[in-house]
Structure 1
Amino acid sequence: MKLNQIDGHQKWDVTVLGGGIAGLTASIYLAQAGKKVLLLDKASKLGGRGISNTIGDAYLNLGAHALYINCIEILNEVGVTVSGRVPKLSGAFILGDQFSQMKIIEAFNLFLGNHLKWKEKMEFIRFYRHIRKMDLEEINHISLEEYLNRKITSRRVKNLILAFIRVSTFTSNSELISAGVAIGQLRSAKVMYINEGWQSIVNDLIKKANQLGVTIQNSTVVSKITGTYPNINLILKNDTRINTSCLLSTINPIDFVKLIDEPISDSFLQKCNQTIPVKAACLDLVMNGLPNPKLNFALGVDQPWYFSNHSSVAKLSNKEGEIVVHLMKYLNSVNETDSEKDEVELESLLDLLQPGWRDYVISRRYLPKLIVSNDIKKPFHKLDNHLSNSDIGLEGIYIAGDWVGETELLLNASLTSAKNATKLINEKLELQLI
């Protein structure tokens, strides 16, 4: 249904801005509570960064996507059936700064061989034993860099820990991310690769939202937001006006504040302006095999690299023998890099890991600066610097997304903040009925 077919006099209980996973999840929770929900998205295809593109017979996520197990509970609550498998705990580490001097070490050999001294092996083991039982609140207020400098004496052990942190948080700036947030994510770093890509999750969400009567409008651009609860108005690019009691925004914070034509609190504006997006350079390949099929995963220790054959455990193509491979460079969020050089770097990495790989490529896609998350979760105190619904200063307007909250990251942050925001909205609307 086109938006201009909606009765202009109709009033919505809640309008959700943004049709990514957070927005779709929130719309389902609201509809489950009996609310009249409108979801708007400016893209032609719903799903945001959760979409998968079909290239031939293969499903390609936007870069390497892994689903953390701690997300499954909320996904199940909103009608998503997750299909996939946990990757094997094996692979290799890439040691060294220069390609000519790099070594590829199988994971078990790194600890059984002489690549680490006995003292370094013990320091690494003590670190992991300690973080499993420590109170993370004690280190939320300092950066990961500061924490590791206090606790780890060996540079090699520190780099190894940072490699695990990068793969679990996607963040390459250890001086910016909260130590408690980073280590908390590392502790819960059990993941799944999803059959037929993350589009299968998006499809389930859209199906459930439609079943519950959520009105979904894509290719719809909002130009201005005015008013507060219970009369919030959205003015679209085509001058259509939408009236809603509450508004939930799941779009990125910078774009969101540009739309609001009301006095937002200074603290909220300041926090939005201080967000630091997490980015990655991603080389995604559809291949008819690997020259070295035994090597399906590798992690850079001294360089911020990731390589994985996701098809080793998940079905990502309808064609027998076809696989999907992801390479990634975790980008520095402060210092810009050269996108062309990053692509050459990822190709050289694959030359090192899979010599002759070019002969196996069916199709390729390079995403030079993919936004993985809209903000790095920085160190915080009780009076924190993180964005929350209490900061906005406009009654009836709420936020959700990977940039909301204190300790959750990535999809878990999106899902958790969506659920929390809908609870606040339902409470608000129920008070109206009393």
Structure 2
Amino acid sequence: MALQISATNPEHPALLLALPWDVPLEEWPEEYLVPLPRGISRHVVRYARAGDEVIAVKELAERPALREYQLLRDLDRLGIPAVDPLAVITGRTDRTGAPLEPVLVTRHLRGSQPYRSMFETTMRPATMHRLMDALAALLVRLHLAGFAWGDCSLSNTLFRRDAGAYAAYLVDAETGDLHPRLSPGQREYDLDLARVNISGELLDLEASGALHPSVDPVEFGHEICTRYGGLWQELTRTSVYPAGKYHYIERRIRRLNDLGFDVAEMQIEHSAGGDTVTFVPKVVDAGHHQRQLLRLTGLDTEENQARRLLNDLESWMATQDDYAPGDPLAARPEVLAHRWVRDVFRPTVRAVAPGLRGSMDPAEIYHELLEHRWYLSEQAQHDIGLDTAVEDYTRNVLPKARAALEPTTPE
């Protein structure tokens, strides 16, 4: 059987053909590999370079490989945070003609880490709470889209820094199923699996001495259920308001926006007596601030990063002479936003030398600089300019941070 490459982009097959598909993945020469931290997997997984891209290659049987490839494409279409599928390669044989397992190829998520590499230095409980928040938000988004994961765990998730918090990405969809809508039983089953898996993974870390002594693995397993339940309730609960109090509905929608969700469709019903109004958000889409920032500036970021950048953008716009909300002759927000990107955001990020950035993307760098400016301003008891903050951050903070991360973060 000839080698076959099913790819999402017509440019990828030519890049992928240069890799040694006639060699079992476990035996690939070092010259093709990229030394990035890998999580635990039931399959052989390797990071490799294909042209200018870093890819993750996973060996598995043909049917599950094709199925996972399609599920990841479906999640991408739905806007769910997951690794980006690039190709499935079948028909592999070694140099003697013996068959080799097919592979699933995905794009490496830059700046991400598997949970085990994050625990190579003792992680504080506060940071672990943020990981649980990120994983709970991912699971809620999957369930709202009708996706039953079937194996939610820390091992099947990648984490990226997101303006002081974390963003979680699904990395293994092999056990998943996509439905028009999930039943409460399907959601509870997924949540129970998550609780058991997370507790087991943390118990494993505890046995190896990599877990903070104050962390109870079983308690943290239950925490995913608590955080999921609170977020799910806020996104889906029915609200009953007095008739005429329509600003209550607006307040509820604003609350969902603050959580990072847009209400794309809603159901509003008056009671038989006309004295109350029932409001139910029917379709809730994540990424409220991401979409707003992308529309204004063209910057594609994580949700918390977008919220922070929007706050800075609004503060900056208020200082501009041609900013006058409601004035038809004033500059439009989109014009001001692009000026902010050109005159503030990009020069600030470029002031940080590439060698000091590590795996941080531009939005995370800018967030860190805003945090450092606030810290210096608090110390000085007056406002410190962004230029001063950049200079101090690159001279006194980043070099130490990079030196501390180098032994545990090959990227």
Give the TM bin, normalised by the shorter chain. Answer: under 0.3
Q: Between Structure 1 and Structure 2, which shows a larger proportion of strand residues?
A: 1
Q: With a CA cutoff of 8 Å and minimum separation of 6, indicate the structure with the bigger relative contact order.
A: 1
Whichever of the two has the greater Rg, that structure is 2
Q: What is the TM-score of this pair, normalised by structure 2?
A: 0.23
Q: What is the TM-score of this pair, normalised by structure 1?
A: 0.22
Q: Between Structure 1 and Structure 2, which shows a larger proportion of helix residues?
A: 2
